[in-house]
Every structure is written in C-alpha cells, then in structure tokens.
Amino acid sequence: MKIALALFQLDRRGGKERDCLAVARSLAERGHDVTIVTTSRPASETRPYRIATVPRRGLTNHALARNFARKAMNYCSEVGSDACLAFERIPGAEFYYAADNPAASKVRGVRSLLPRGRMRLALERGVFERSPCPFFFFLTEQQRCQFGALYRFDASRSVVLPLILHDDRYDMVAAGSDPARIRQQLKLPATGPVAISIAVSSAFDNKGVDRSLTALTHLPDLYLVVVGSNDRRLKRRVKSLGLERRVRIVPHASNIIELIAAADVLVHPARSEAAGQVIGEALLAATPAIISSVCGYAPCVERSGAGVVLEEPFRQDAFEQAISGTLARLPVARAAATRESQRLQHERGKWLAVIGDEIERRIGSGSR
C-alpha cells in the first residue's frame, strides 16, 4: 500500500518526530510504499522510505499549521496515497496519531477568540467532528478519555497504544552502562544523590524543571542533571538560585539511557504531558521516577511501585518529600524499577505492530 505520514517539521527530533520516523521505518519494513510529508527534513541518512517536502506558507504559527494541513492532503490526493497517517491536526486524514493533548482543553475564553486559538480549534474539530471520523491512535487511556469528554467520536475507531519505547533505547540497555564513568564525566559525586530531568529546550517549565530547581534549594545534598535544554533562561535561573555547583546542563545527548541509569531518580513534575516517554525510558533503565499525575504514563509508575506519582494540584513540599522518601528507600524503589524493566523487555516493538496491523486491516478491508 502507498501510505503517507504527515508531520510539519521533521528535523525538530522531539518525541513526536522520533515516533513518526519509527512508524515510517516499521511500515516500510512491512513492505509498504511510505512517504513522510513535511516542511523540513533531517540530515541525509539511509532510510527505507521517502521524504517529500512541501513549502512553508504563512507568517504565523497558526497560518503555517493551516496551510500545511491543506498541502499535506493535496499531496496525498496528487500521488494517490491509499492512506494518510497524520501526526498533526489534519482534517481529512484517514488516521490520526494523537501526539498532543486536546487543544480544546487549553484554548478557552479570550484565547479561543484570538486567531491562533481559533485556528487550533478549527483544525482539531475538523479531525474529531468529521463524519466518518478517522481512526485514532491514542498514547494513553487518560488521553482518550480527555478527547472523549470534548468530542463525540466513535470510540470503536480508536486504540490505545502500548507504552512507546524506541529500539535504540532497548539496544542501549542491552549494551549495559557504566554509571561511575558517567558521573565522573559530569563531575558528579560518586555516591551522592543525583536526580535527572529531561526537557525539550523550549518547554523546560512545562516539564517542571523549575520545580526541580526549587527542590534543590531545599535539598542541599542533591545534584540535578538537566538534559535536552540549553535555554539561556534556564542558565539564568540556575545562577539566580545559586545552584551552579549542583546543576549539570547537557544540551543534547544520544546516550540518554546511560545518563538516566547514572542517576538515582528521574524527576518529572510536568505541568502537561500527553504520555511522557522519558518515564518509560527511566523504568527501562531501572531508575525510579517521581512524576506528576498529569503525565499520561503515570499509571505505569503507580502500578509498578517504581517511584511516586504526585497528586494534583501540585504541591512543592510534597514533591520534595517524595524525593527525600525515595532516596531514603532507594534499594526498594530500584528493585521495583528493575522488575518493571524486565517486564518491558517483552514489550519491544508492540506499539509499532499495533499501528501497522490497524492500518493494514482497515485499508485492506476498505473500512476507513
């Protein structure tokens, strides 16, 4: 089958972009003719699929989103694609990968009247209120319920994907790690308590990095490694709090599993998180996690006992107590995380198989 995947900016390489590339490769390996439709491509590399770029049109983000949705569907029509799997809000696509939480839950009041808010809502409604609706791939049951509370779509035309972990993460775990070496490279204490936070550069507050920095001001023995952000605001905040000695900022890292394994605990008190792949990565690395309950993968931590899920509304003192408590019972928390890591070894590739199976079943049978 000829399958198109639509993603606005492929070279950004955040979680959504990584997911799109993995899905494209998996579908191509199943024998399909796969093309990713995007406005920007990553560096040249050997791949079993094609990348088609369409022009960026628009002076604002909402204009860019609207025009990309149109151009992606025009491309699919022109080349005769059997199906389009959209990673953005694209009305008309046969499949929708819900990489983000509902815009309708955030764009309210005055924001819904502004051009950007109106366009985000219009595109989302074009996806969820169309008849027949596309088939939806949701990241978590919590996310499916959030969309279900806002839109009356046919829930039978949806599936919640198994926990998403990429093959390279499994390969890193299989290769083993040397926490002592990593700590030495980062000039961290060999045995002192170390927490790690993962945040995309432009969203470090959304991921709760500011909350983790505040915790450090009350936990004088704790060190923090912040991975994935090199934002000047972050550096200024670290300096203003007098935390330069105990904070390590790693802008980019390919050895994310090694970094997580070298820490005692993952801290991810996010304000918004559709799923939170870093949570699964921490559990795969047998590292306990302290996360907010808004994270889509919070049930994984709760079920396994490999950490603490913070209740909403967020309380800074409860977060700091959770860190202290987890460090105090670290052997128990690590044992639970190790058991979950062993379980996750058997989940490799399942999320990709679900996507491939559903697309083949629905396009092959004509039940789009």
Query: How would you classify the pairing of strands 194-198 and 223-227?
Result: parallel
Q: Are residues 251 and 204 in the same domain?
A: yes
Q: Are residues 29 and 178 in the same domain?
A: no
SS3 of residue 320 by DSSP: helix
Q: Are residues 325 and 270 in the same domain?
A: yes
Q: Which residue in this structure is represented by tokens 């169309």?
A: 130
Query: pTM score, two decimals?
Result: 0.94
Rounded CA-CA distance 30/309 in Å is: 38
Give the dihedral sign, CA 156/301/296/16.
negative
Digit-by-digit pLDDT tens for the chain (368 residues) are 999 999 999 987 788 999 999 999 999 999 999 999 999 987 777 899 999 999 999 999 999 999 999 999 999 999 999 999 999 999 999 999 999 999 999 898 888 989 999 999 999 999 999 888 899 999 999 999 999 999 999 999 999 999 999 999 999 999 999 999 999 999 999 998 999 998 765 578 899 999 999 999 999 999 999 998 888 899 999 999 999 999 999 988 889 999 999 999 999 999 999 999 999 999 999 999 999 999 999 999 999 999 999 999 999 999 999 999 999 999 999 999 999 999 999 999 999 999 999 999 999 865 55
Q: Are residues 12 and 150 in the same domain?
A: yes
Q: Are residues 185 and 309 in the same domain?
A: yes
104: domain CATH number is 3.40.50.2000
Cα separations (Å) of 139 from 57, 101, 149, 275, 343?
A: 30, 10, 16, 6, 19
**Which strand (E) or helix (H) includes residue 223?**
strand 223-227
Burial 84-99 (b: 16+ CB within 10 A, else e): bbbbbbbbbbbbbbbb
Q: Are residues 47 and 13 in the same domain?
A: yes
Q: Are residues 359 and 227 in the same domain?
A: no
Rounded CA-CA distance 120/66 in Å is: 9
**Cα–Cα–Cα angle for 230, 267, 21, rounded to 5 degrees:** 60
Q: Are residues 178 and 72 in the same domain?
A: no
Give the range of the structural domain holding residue 113, as residue numbers without chain letter. Answer: 2-162+349-365
Could you write out the DSSP letters of every residue in 264-319?
SEEEE--S--SS-HHHHHHHHTT--EEEETTSTTHHHHHHHTSEEEEPSSP-HHHH
Whole-number pLDDT of residue 131: 85
Answer for the pair 28, 356: CB distance below 8 angstroms, yes or no. no
Q: Are residues 152 and 208 in the same domain?
A: no
Helix axes 316-328, 209-218, angle to 10 degrees: 70
Token code pair at residue 279: 């949570």
Q: Are residues 296 and 341 in the same domain?
A: yes
Query: How many distinct structural domains can be found in the chain?
Result: 2
Spatial CA neighbour of 248 closest among 209, 292, 285, 278: 209
Spatial CA neighbour of 22 closest among 202, 13, 37, 31: 13
Q: Are residues 82 and 153 in the same domain?
A: yes
Q: Are residues 27 and 142 in the same domain?
A: yes
